């Protein structure tokens, strides 16, 4: 498992009974987590000091219960700053487990000693975009949600990257890739974080299990001859690390060599020393 263990402003304090107790800066949130199927004694004092609690509904979805939480606040990861706010379906606008991948791409870009172009697809609020830009890359940030792209711009400004070479696009990722192929554009690094299911800005339907392999193949054709990395993240049940490795081996390694490796990503749990699984990532390097 690849562990995001360098946070100072975030931690998973404890886990029990389908929920995770988290600290986001100075605020304590309790949110559901489908991986937490165990029950342990709730001994951490923060269980009784919640700022907000997201309650899952038996009918799907759920709602927040707020005790003392601002509408918006910020946390930091190394030199990056992220704006947070609670919004529908339990999210805050950041997936802290992805920090282990931010560190990985930062290391590669920083050591390249040349200009680096990165494409970030399904880029959400820009965690990987900011990490790549801070390391010196020129980044193309693509997401179908205008609101998420605006949020990413605000995170960039808060991180001192308002004037960084980041191109923000509200677009359907699959259609954007096809246009880039026709244009003959290439990238040194590609990141993708595809959802299990989604819709593009014009109603385009994305269904992970039906489209992901062909999409990896098409997107990998945008890697330049001296490309540095390809990263795919998955939160979809059934797409285990081995599946990500097989897809990367078939779509990239067989055609241009290099190495593909995959693993679960996770977060340390302070109270019990466990590591909470949070999806999987697959990485290719030449």
The tens place of each residue's pLDDT in the chain, 286 residues long, gives: 999 999 999 999 999 999 999 999 999 999 999 899 999 999 999 999 999 999 988 777 889 999 999 999 999 999 999 999 998 789 999 999 999 999 999 999 999 999 999 999 999 999 999 999 999 999 999 999 999 999 999 999 999 999 999 999 999 999 999 999 999 999 999 999 987 665 666 666 656 666 789 999 999 999 999 999 999 999 876 678 999 999 999 999 999 999 999 999 999 999 999 999 999 999 999 9
Take residue 175 and report the two structure tokens written for it: 């259609």
The residue from 49, 84, 119 where one domain ends is 84
Q: Are residues 59 and 162 in the same domain?
A: no
175 vs 208: CA distance, rounded Å? 15
Domain count, the chain: 2
Structural domain of 141: 96-285
> What per-residue confidence (pLDDT) applies to 127?
97
Same domain, 102 and 200: yes
CA–CA gap between residue 115 and residue 94 (Å, rounded): 28
Backbone angles phi, psi at 227, to 5 degrees: -60, 150
Beta bridge partner(s), residue 117 = 138
Q: Are residues 75 and 170 located together in one domain of the fold?
A: no
pLDDT score of 201: 63
Structural domain ending residue among the three candidates 61, 84, 107: 84
pTM here is 0.94
Give me 139's structure tokens.
Answer: 């980044």
**CATH number of the domain residue 30 falls in:** 2.60.40.1180
Domain containing residue 137: CATH number: 3.40.50.150
């Amino acid at each position: 498992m690849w562990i995001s263990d360098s946070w100072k402003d975030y931690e998973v304090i404890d886990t029990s009974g389908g929920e995770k107790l988290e600290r986001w800066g100075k605020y304590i949130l309790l949110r559901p987590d489908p991986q937490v199927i165990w029950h342990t004694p709730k001994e951490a004092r923060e269980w009784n000091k919640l700022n907000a609690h997201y309650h899952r509904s038996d009918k799907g979805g759920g709602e927040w219960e707020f005790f003392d939480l601002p509408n918006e606040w910020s946390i930091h990861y190394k030199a990056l700053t992220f704006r947070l706010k609670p919004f529908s379906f339990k999210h805050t606008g950041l997936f802290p487990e992805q920090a282990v991948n931010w560190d990985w791409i930062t290391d590669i870009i920083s050591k390249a000693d040349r200009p680096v172009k990165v494409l970030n697809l399904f880029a959400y609020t820009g965690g990987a975009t900011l990490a790549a830009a801070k390391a010196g890359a020129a980044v193309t940030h693509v997401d179908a949600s205008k609101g998420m792209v605006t949020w990413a711009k605000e995170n960039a400004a808060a991180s001192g990257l308002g004037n960084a070479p980041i191109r923000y696009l509200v677009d359907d990722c699959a259609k954007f890739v096809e246009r880039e192929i026709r244009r003959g554009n290439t990238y040194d690094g590609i990141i993708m974080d595809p959802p299990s299911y989604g819709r593009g800005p014009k109603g385009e339907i994305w269904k992970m299990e039906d489209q992901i392999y062909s999409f990896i193949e098409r997107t990998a054709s945008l890697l330049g001859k001296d490309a540095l990395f390809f990263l795919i993240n998955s939160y979809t049940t059934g797409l285990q690390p081995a599946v990500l490795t097989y897809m990367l081996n078939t779509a990239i390694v067989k055609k241009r060599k290099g190495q593909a490796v995959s693993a679960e990503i996770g977060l340390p749990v302070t109270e019990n020393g466990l590591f909470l699984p949070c999806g999987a990532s697959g990485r290719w390097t030449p």
